[in-house]
Amino acid sequence: MMKPLPTIAFAAILLTFQCACGQQGAQPPMTLSASRHEVIAPAEFKAQLTKEPGTLVDVRTPDECAEGIIAGARMIDHGSPDFAQAIKQVDPSKPVYLYCAAGGRSYKAAQFLLKNGYAYVVELDGGMGAWLEAGQTVVPPGKASNR
């Protein structure tokens, strides 16, 4: 059985109206100033540090850092009561490279930075464990520079 013409016309008008409204409410494309967050493997992490310098941050505990850190890293313990204040001293306009032992704390630190307007945050996939497993080197904390 055929539907009456007024019902079909009403449905067509309603559909047209919904499509037009949906286009008006569409989100603008992401701009270049939007935050970026990447999690990358050790070799790529090392190359990216050289290619696009920024601040390298080790968010492990002092005891963990005593076993060695990536050269150039600043040590900012994620578990420290003054973590938020200390990490906010890092320049938000430059890339921030984060690592911890396995990835959990660096993820939390990355989320904190992104919520606080940092433009580009890069995490070491697998943390220090993956770094060492990939044959990368570490230095004693006293030999690392604070960028």
Active-site positions read 100
Per-residue tokens: 107: 């993820």
Distances (CA, A) of 60 to 6, 26, 45, 73, 145: 69, 42, 18, 11, 17
Instruction: Specify the residue for token string 């070799």.
Output: 43
User: Which residue matches tokens 């940092």?
Assistant: 118
**SS3 state at 93:** coil
76 close to 55: Cβ distance less than 8 angstroms: no
